[in-house]
Structure formats: C-alpha cells, structure tokens
Amino acid sequence: MNPADALHHGLVLAAVGHAYGGQKVVAEVSLAVAPGELVCLLGPSGCGKTTTLRIAAGLEHPQEGSVRLGGRVVADAQQRLPPEERHVGFLFQDYALFPHLDVAHNIAFGLAGRPKAEIDQRVRAVLAQVGMEGAEAQYPHTLSGGQQQRVALARALAPNPRLMLLDEPFSGLDSRLRDQVRDQTLHILKTSGVATLMVTHDPEEAMFMADRIALMREGRIVQVGPPEELYFRPADAFVAAFFGEVNRLAGTVQGGKVATALGAFAAPGLAEGAQALVLIRPEAVRLASEEVEGAALARVLAARLLGRASLVHLAVGEPERLHLHARIPGRFLPAEGERLAVRLDPTQVFVFPA
C-alpha cells in the first residue's frame, strides 16, 4: 500500500477510540486503506471490529481520534459528516434489499436525483459487472442467496463510492456457495479499484480476501500486515493461535534455547531462566517411517482423513506426556501404534514468553 494514496484518496483512521457506557470497545485504532486495496478487520466476537467499521461509515461517532476519507476529515471529536455525504458503499450480512422493489429499482435507490437515462445506464453497467445481466425486472424473493448478494454489491457500487464497507457479508451462505460468492466479490472489488474495509471473524476468509489483515483483540489492533506476515511472523501467541490449531509446549530458557520433547528451539529476546511457550502448527510436523538422526519418535494414536489432508494424533516422549497433532497433505493414514520419526518445519514454530 502507498500511504500517500490512503492519505489523499482512501480511508485513514488515526488513534480512534470509542466507549459504550464507560467501557472502552475501540482503543487507539490507526489504520489506512488505499484505493484498490482490500483490508480485513479480523478478530473474535466483541473485539471491536464492527464498531470500528461503523465509525468509518459514520454510523458511530469517534470519541477520540479522527477519520479521513479522500483527504478530508469526516469525523473527529468536534465534527462528523453524515454517512450519506461520505460516498461510502455498504454490504452487510442481510443484504438489506427492498423486497417491494425489483432489482433495477433496488440498485437505482442510491442514484436518486440523476437523469433517468444515466440511472438506467449505470444499473445495466453494474449488473454486468457482477454477472447479473438481464435481472432488472426480478424481485429479491425470486433470487438465490448468492444472486441477492451480487445485487446488494451492485447497489453499493452503483454510486461509485470512495470506500466500500463489508460486514460479515458471506456469513449467511452455505459453505459451497460462500466459496463461490466471495471469489466473485473479490474479483469485482479489485476490478472496481475502490478502497475496501471488510469485517470477518474467519481467519481463512480474511486470508482469502485481504491484501492486508488487521487483527484485533479487546479493542486494539495487535498486528497488521499481509496475510503471510501474520501467519509466518506472528507478533505474539494470540496472533499465532488465531490462524488455526497449534501444538503447545512449555519450557525454560537455557543458553538462549527452550528444550522440549521435540528438540531445542531458539528463544531470541527471552531472558535466561524465563518460562517460554512454544507453538507448533500441525502443518509444521513432518513424519517419516524410518529413524531420522536427531528426530524425536512418536507413537500413532489415531489417523483421520479430513479430505484435502490427514490429521494424525501422536504421543511423544518417555513417558508419553505430549499429545501432538500433525496435518499431512493428502492421504496419510499410518496404523495405530506405529512408531514414526518427527521433524519440524522451523518456519511454523514460534517461541513466546509464557
């Protein structure tokens, strides 16, 4: 992202804070979204991501900090530009289509005041953009969930907004349709060149959609960056664990390393004698049937095929105090009781203070 683009043309949240009834729900949130960029606000329920989105939209007023859009301050502690004057498009969970209006009139709703010929042309253009040509006369109840979502997206894009805001837009769709619709939505938004801020609680969805992810916890952004940065270089144990299951090992720092049943791991920045937490993604575990020099041995407790990968439950150590999960691509189903050598991909092993 070019910061200058966000400053002059996109969205900039600067040290934004907000509280309900004295309870802080957003604290010192700073984030920029440039034109053509899609940023996901990710986090567990109640972390403040939806409130942050509502502040960007103008539906909530920031009690601290400021919001800039297109180079203009649209909200701070003293002033607030109404949502309808911000040139922002919205796409929410329920799509909010008007049931008594056909598709054309739903899309035209945000174009009121323009010449009819211009409205008709724009309606046809955005319907083509979302792959819904010829649907002008249909009503929402006649459309599938995916089609309704595309009409809602077309309506949001019709006025050529400076900013698109998406709040859990795919949560109401079944898993197969969700994959298809979010793929279409991603390509439509990237083609449109609009700055987009999206809220989701699903880390896989955020990684699929986002150029950058801002992960929130208890009202604050704990790390922001491209998906691969958060996945492979997490700032803390919360970030590492949020992107999927992890194996957890505890140990003490000795000589700059943490000794565990799977070997010793470097502990940069941790004091000698400090308690440390080692997090290992199941995908980091490599298994071999023959003995490997320096590798720990594990006994297979169970193996299950999960479709694209196999999950192997392992017991490690003498006595077998460590329960380890390994996720292996494809079909890998060793027999219960089989002994396997365990190696690790160091890029998916993380050491943090306990």
pLDDT tens per residue across span 162-172? 999 999 988 87
Q: Residue 87 has which token pair?
A: 């040139």
How many helices (H) and strands (E) would you count in the chain? 9, 20
Residue 249 phi/psi, 5-degree rounding, is -125, 140
Classified by CATH at the fold level, domain 3-87+161-240 comes out as Rossmann fold (3.40.50)
Ranges of each domain in the chain: 3-87+161-240, 245-353
Q: Which two tokens stand for residue 204?
A: 């896989």
Average the pLDDT over 3-17 and give the result: 80
pLDDT of residue 56: 95
Nearest-10 Cα torsion for 242, 245, 249, 253? -30
Domain range 245-353, CATH class: mainly beta
Q: Is the pLDDT of residue 3 over 60?
A: no
Q: 213 - beta bridge partners?
A: 40, 225
The residue type of 258 is: V
DSSP H/E element including 3:
helix 3-8
pLDDT band with cut points at 50, 70 and 90 for residue 6: low
Q: State the pLDDT at residue 5.
A: 61
CA dihedral 6, 163, 122, 139 (to 10 degrees): 160
Nearest to 155 by CA among 143, 164, 167, 145: 164
Nearest Cα to Cα of residue 58 among 48, 73, 45: 73
Is the pLDDT assigned to residue 277 strictly greater than 90?
yes
Q: What's the CA gap between 55 and 86, in Å, rounded?
A: 12
Nearest CA-CA partner of 60 in 191, 207, 138, 165? 165
Query: What mean pLDDT comes out for the span 133-142?
Result: 94
- Beta bridge mates, 31: 13
**What is the distance between the alpha carbons of residues 74 and 95, in angstroms, rounded to a whole number?**
25
Whether the predicted pLDDT of 18 surpasses 70: yes
| pLDDT (0 to 100) of residue 9 | 74
For residues 178-195, average pLDDT: 91
Binned at pLDDT 50, 70 and 90, residue 141 comes out as: very high
Identify the top-confidence range among 113-117, 184-188, 301-305, 317-321.
301-305
Separation between Cα atoms, residue 192 and residue 204, nearest integer Å: 23
Q: 52 with 247: CB under 8 angstroms?
A: no
- Which tokens sit at 210? 């986002």
pLDDT exceeds 90 at position 33: yes
The secondary structure element, H or E, covering residue 151 is helix 145-157
Other beta carbons within 10 Å of 123: 21
**pLDDT range class, residue 161, cuts 50, 70, 90:** very high
